[in-house]
Amino acid sequence: MYDFNYHRPSSLDEAVTLLGQGEDVKVLAGGHTLLPTMKQRLAAPSDVVDLSRIAALKGIEATEGAVRIGAATSHADVAASGEVRNRIPALAALAARIGDPHVRNRGTLGGSIANNDPNADYPAACLALGATIVTTKREIAADDFFVDMFETALDEDEIVTRVDFPVPRRAGYAKFPNPASRYALVGVFVAEGGDGIRAAVTGAGPCVFRVPEMEAALGHDFSPAALEGIKVDAGGLNADIHASADYRAHLVGVMARRAVEAALEGR
């Protein structure tokens, strides 16, 4: 790891100011993406801004029709939250299956989505639930937030402060974890909410994406059987040391059906 300047602001304003200074400033949330990346020298920031002492970024709050989760809330806290478990159990279940206990203790919601790893779990939940990403500057719809592999709509000096998840009528998540890293080789989040049915796929492509054909089919008949025969084109999917594009395409179908099952069972 190359050395850097370390900052530990106690307020968001201070953090935003720090982001505007220095050549290559990176935000450190839980550190479970940034630090391994820096250890491999795939990132060499000049400055690191540690958000862990900013109280405003933490916590889970239930509002009318939504659950608001602070960006610096750990996966473990999301998984254990009564509010999340009661109102969006699929989201709690998703958080409970990220990485391993130590990763869940440190890794955060904001860190995950700001990094937008193509194999991360949270982007699928954000997109399928139609979440709103609240930042230090604005509110961004999930549909607009995830741009491309490791790329989001965030400006350089913009910090995710919380994510508002509308409470769906029902939702389910199923993932095929990479056996080694436990990132999603393929993960599908299916949700039925105020604006209909959304199905979002992570892990399979360069960036989380929706499958309109599945959404339409589920709109007619919210059941696993409705998805039979719907194939995702392997053309644009990832092929790497862990899986071929064909296998991923196949898994998207299987995971989507399982996500629907989970939604029907309310888990």
- Binding to another protein by residue 23, rule CB under 8 A? no
* 102 lies in the binding site for another protein (CB under 8 A): yes
**Which of 110-118, 212-220, 228-236, 250-258 is the region at the interface with another protein (rule: CB under 8 A)?**
250-258
Among 20, 42, 179, 233, binds another protein (CB under 8 A): 179
Q: Shortest Cβ distance from residue 172 to another protein (Å)?
A: 16
Helices (H), 97-187: 101-106, 109-115, 122-129, 142-145
At closest approach, how far in Å is the CB of 58 from another protein? 14
Both tokens of 155, joined, read 């400006």
Cα 143 from Cα 241, distance rounded (Å): 29
What six digits make up the tokens of 242? Answer: 């862990």
> How far separated are the first and last CA of the chain, in Å rounded?
41
What is the C-alpha separation between 248 and 242, in angstroms, rounded?
10
- 67 touches 61 (CB < 8 A): yes
Stretch that binds another protein, among 36-44, 133-141, 146-154, 225-233 (CB under 8 A): 36-44
Binds another protein by CB under 8 A, chosen from 12, 16, 35, 234: 35
Question: How far apart are the C-alpha atoms of 173 and 218, rounded to whole Å?
Answer: 15
Instruction: State yes or no: residue 189 binds another protein (CB under 8 A).
Output: no
Q: Is 83 exposed, middle or buried (0-12, 13-18, 19+ CB in 10 A)?
A: middle
Nearer to another protein, 18 or 167 (CB): 18
Of 243, 245, 252, 259, the residue at the interface with another protein (CB under 8 A) is: 243
CB of 177 to another protein, least distance (A): 10
> Considering the rule CB under 8 A, would residue 52 count as an interface residue with another protein?
yes
99 binds another protein (CB under 8 A): yes
Site map 54..83 versus another protein, x via CB under 8 A: ----------------------x-------
Binding of residue 17 to another protein (CB under 8 A): no
Q: Which two tokens stand for residue 37?
A: 């990346």
Alpha-carbon separation of residue 75 from 97, 167, 184 (angstroms): 9, 18, 15
Among 15, 28, 211, 232, binds another protein (CB under 8 A): 28
**Is residue 26 a contact residue for another protein (CB under 8 A)?**
no
C-alpha angle 57-62-63 in degrees, rounded to nearest 5 = 110
Between 31 and 210, whose beta carbon lies closer to another protein? Answer: 31
d(CA 252, CA 232): 7
Number of H helices, E strands in the chain: 11, 14
Judged by the rule CB under 8 A, the positions of this chain that interact with another protein are 1-6, 8, 28, 31-32, 35-36, 38-40, 48, 50, 52, 76, 99-103, 105-106, 176, 179-182, 241-244, 247, 250-251, 254
